[in-house]
Amino acid sequence: MNRSECSGRRATGGAVKKIDRVMQLSRLLSSRRQPLPLTSIQEQLGCSERTARRLLEDLRNRFKAPVEYDRARRGWILGHASAEASELPGLWFTDAELYAFMVSQRLLADLQPGVFDEHLAPIRARLEALLAHAAPGRPDLARRVRILQMAARPVNVEHFRKITTALLDRKQLRVLYHGRERDETTERTVSPQRLVYYRSNWYLDAWCHLRNDLRSFSLDRLHPVLIAAEPAHEIGDAQLDHHFTSSYGIFAGTPRATAVLRFSPSAARWVADEHWHPQQQGKVLPSGTYELRVPYSDPRELARDILQHGPEVEVIAPKALRTHIAELAARTAAQYRRSKK
């Protein structure tokens, strides 16, 4: 270990020790109903008056604890937190845990920009203050973490908030839904079950009272959105999983067939480590090719994923899927042949 590593460890160790003493002070004040004199705090923590005052200041300003000084009784006490705040006793983090938390909140903010900003900003500020205190000199996380999304469709912020509110409060929603495939708009009453983030876009799994069945709705196609007073119709987790996750991709329903795909040895280096479906089966063949089996009910999304591998993959079965992929590939090739003329 070199000298800089030693000094770095000493600095971090001192910061962690200080956080431990702040936590000790918090527990000490939480256990007392009467104000605690500064001399008692010094005695309990085994520190000087100056250190005790600095710890009290950190607990109040850095950790936002409701620390108050009772002048009449000449002591320190934890007052009542505001009605909008919630105390989380024992929630103390190492610097590594704080970084993990910061990455998580950054991911949440980027998944749906604007929705959680007003709630996450105060949390982010506190986390950054804790990191600056526990690990000074570390780089700004926002400059070091990038989250890239492909083909994301924007969702109205207010609609997103209403949908999440109804989902958690277990209320029905009244919406207008515009389906892309038929280019039709229908009025729906739905009971939200799950919010799904899939391939850079948001979907709502819900019980549709118009169709009397489970449906998945793309959030960018729901407008306007109204939270109804009626309680949501509840669907069990087992039924939701069977309906929405049995088949391939976003298309729900009981699988109608199993696709057997064979990837070239070069493509197998990547595909063999990829997760295509919870019930997929894969094996490397003696030739070095990789055989992947996935259940599906609708071939559209599966076909797109197959075609992106071009000549590196072959559909072995079923025959209908093999024919479908061959036709799509032929039409694509014909398109390029026409473009040369």
- CATH class as words, domain 3-78: mainly alpha
- Cα 120 to Cα 106: distance, rounded to the nearest angstrom: 9
How far from each other are the two terminal CA atoms of the chain, in whole angstroms? 68
Residue 164 has pLDDT above 70, yes or no: yes
Extract the tokens encoding 299.
């071939």
257-339 and 157-245 share a CATH fold: no
Higher pLDDT, 268 or 145: 268
pLDDT level of residue 9 (50, 70, 90 thresholds): very low
Compute CA distances 86 → 64, 83, 287, 307, whole Å: 11, 8, 60, 51
Higher pLDDT, 7 or 61: 61
Mean pLDDT over 317-332 rounds to: 96
Mean pLDDT over 123-134 rounds to: 67
Collapsed DSSP state (helix, strand, coil) of residue 246: coil
Its pTM surpasses 0.85: no
- Cα 24 to Cα 157: distance, rounded to the nearest angstrom: 42
Pick one of 3.90.70, 1.10.150, 2.60.40, 3.30.70 as the CATH number of 257-339: 3.30.70
Q: What is the pLDDT of residues 275-323, one digit of tens each?
A: 999 999 999 999 999 999 999 999 999 999 999 999 999 999 999 999 9
Residue 255 has pLDDT above 90, yes or no: yes
Residue 141 has pLDDT above 70, yes or no: no
CB burial of residue 261 (10 Å; 0-12, 13-18, 19+) = buried
Q: What is the pLDDT of residues 71-109, one digit of tens each?
A: 888 899 887 654 444 444 445 566 666 677 777 777 777
What percentage of the chain carries pLDDT values higher than 70? 80
pLDDT level of residue 1 (50, 70, 90 thresholds): very low
Topology of the domain covering 157-245: SH3 type barrels. (2.30.30)
Higher pLDDT, 116 or 286: 286
State residue 132's pLDDT score: 66
Q: Which of 51-60, 191-200, 211-220 has the lowest mean pLDDT?
A: 51-60
Mean pLDDT over 260-285 rounds to: 96
Residue 124 has pLDDT above 80, yes or no: no
Element (H, E) at 193: strand 184-198
Domain ranges of the chain: 3-78, 95-144, 157-245, 257-339
CB burial of residue 176 (10 Å; 0-12, 13-18, 19+) = middle
Q: In DSSP terms, which residues pair with 338 in a beta bridge?
A: none
